[in-house]
Amino acid sequence: MFEKDTHEILAYYDGGAEIGRLERGIGKIELERSKEIISRYLSKSTHVIYDIGGGVGVYSS
């Protein structure tokens, strides 16, 4: 079962479905809301944030 799930997940991401998703349609709302929530936990001081496993990296920018 695990191998089948892994294959499906890899096929989904390899197909590029996530590329640009947060830049169109309802994804724009998701991105802005996520940034709003994340900003609640960040102060004005300098921080280093590691985006590990962040896919195409929209949040890392």
Is pTM beyond 0.85? Reply is no
What percentage of the chain exceeds 70 in pLDDT?
Answer: 87
pLDDT level of residue 27 (50, 70, 90 thresholds): very high
| pLDDT value for 55 | 65
User: What mean pLDDT value characterizes the chain?
Assistant: 82
Q: Cα(58)–Cα(43) distance, rounded to whole angstroms?
A: 21
| pLDDT value for 54 | 67
Query: Across residues 3-32, what is the average pLDDT?
Result: 89
| pLDDT value for 24 | 92
Q: In angstroms, what CA-CA distances link 27 with 1, 15, 19, 30, 35?
A: 30, 18, 11, 5, 12
What is the rounded (10 degree) CA torsion for 41, 37, 54, 31? Answer: -150
Q: Cα(58)–Cα(47) distance, rounded to whole angstroms?
A: 18
